[in-house]
Amino acid sequence: MTSQSSQQILDRWNGFVTKVTQRLNEITAEADAGFAGMLADPALDTIAFGNAMTALDVRKKDLDQKLSNTFSEQVAIQLAMDTKAEQQAQATLAKALWWMEETWERYRTKKNVELVQTLWTRLEKVWSKPVACVRCGSELQRTIFHKAESVTCRHCSAVNSVTPDPAVYNYFAVAPHYYAEAMALEHRFAVENFKRKLHDEREVRVHVHDDWRDTNLEELLQWEALEKAYWTTYFAAQARIVPMSEDEQKTWVATRMQPLYDYDFNQRNVWRKYKGLP
């Protein structure tokens, strides 16, 4: 039974959590105007855009910290004699932190895609701008647009080195990652949700059933599949911006999967046994 005073502490805590999570909505709403202004500016600066995003990211992390600190320095201590209420308060904290993470990641990736789209519309003028041969002045037939290339003039055979317009560099500096990150976002959430689920289930096993079994093979395989789905979606999306063969995409996926094996799976007995590792 939750005592009256525990209930009061919980009510206060819930009110505080609501206030802090709403603050994140206020911060992003305020930032909207600033981003709209930057995107409308013909001299749009992708570095300044990135810096503004980093500053917001810091503010979001401050809110995380505020919640975590208030829980551990006040709420957990006040509820130390009431385990059930403390667990309830902790569940509220975990839920709030995850809500803020999802809300912020959705906002961040959406704004970054708006940046990519804006840069893209400005490229249209650059694409259609003909490049003339330095020797004879006839129009060169370019084959790639996102990198410097040597183009041999079809009329006079002069070799021209053609460098992309800065707008092209700007676009390709940010577009592949920002676009891919946004396209694969729900897969990232799926991985994180699954990891949280594993963690929560283990907590229940240990604390309620005194069962110290670690994550089993079936769970690791599910986790691996989710992680792979994320990177596969991510690089397939990148390939829509920069040319990348299926094999190149697979190589990238394998590269990005490797840390999960090196720093986690390969440390686990059940995985090493499955893979026949020593």
- Among residues 181, 45, 54, the alpha carbon closest in space to that of 122 is found at 45
**Which of 19, 61, 125, 135 lies at the binding interface for Zn ion (CB under 5 A)?**
135
Q: Does 221 bind Zn ion (CB under 5 A)?
A: no
Is 133 or 191 the residue whose CB approaches Zn ion more closely? 133
**How many residues at the interface with Zn ion, by CB under 5 A?**
7
Q: Does 136 bind Zn ion (CB under 5 A)?
A: yes
Q: Does 132 bind Zn ion (CB under 5 A)?
A: no
Is 159 or 277 the residue whose CB approaches Zn ion more closely? 159
Q: Does 225 bind Zn ion (CB under 5 A)?
A: no
271 vs 216, 244, 268, CA distance in Å?
Answer: 9, 32, 5
Candidates 18-26, 55-63, 93-101, 127-135; binding stretch for Zn ion (CB under 5 A): 127-135
44 vs 34, 61, 103, 109, 168, CA distance in Å?
Answer: 12, 27, 26, 18, 13
Is 81 or 156 the residue whose CB approaches Zn ion more closely? 156
Q: Does 133 bind Zn ion (CB under 5 A)?
A: yes
Which residue type, as a one-letter code, is found at position 246? Answer: E
**Which of 80, 156, 225, 254 lies at the binding interface for Zn ion (CB under 5 A)?**
156
Q: Does 155 bind Zn ion (CB under 5 A)?
A: yes
Euclidean distance between CA atoms 187 and 182, whole angstroms: 10
- The least distance separating Zn ion from the CB of residue 53, rounded to whole angstroms, comes to 44
Euclidean distance between CA atoms 27 and 108, whole angstroms: 12
Q: Does 77 bind Zn ion (CB under 5 A)?
A: no
**Which of 79, 153, 191, 241 lies at the binding interface for Zn ion (CB under 5 A)?**
153
Q: Please check whether residue 191 is in contact with residue 245, taking contact to mean a CB–CB distance below 8 angstroms.
A: no
SS3 44: coil
DSSP 108-157: HHHHHHHHHHHHHHHHHHHHHS--B-TTT-PBP--S-SSS-EEEE-TTT-
- The least distance separating Zn ion from the CB of residue 168, rounded to whole angstroms, comes to 23
Candidates 76-84, 130-138, 222-230, 248-256; binding stretch for Zn ion (CB under 5 A): 130-138
What is the sign of the dihedral through the CA atoms of 35, 38, 44 and 50? negative
Site residues (vs Zn ion, CB under 5 A): 133, 135-136, 153, 155-156, 158
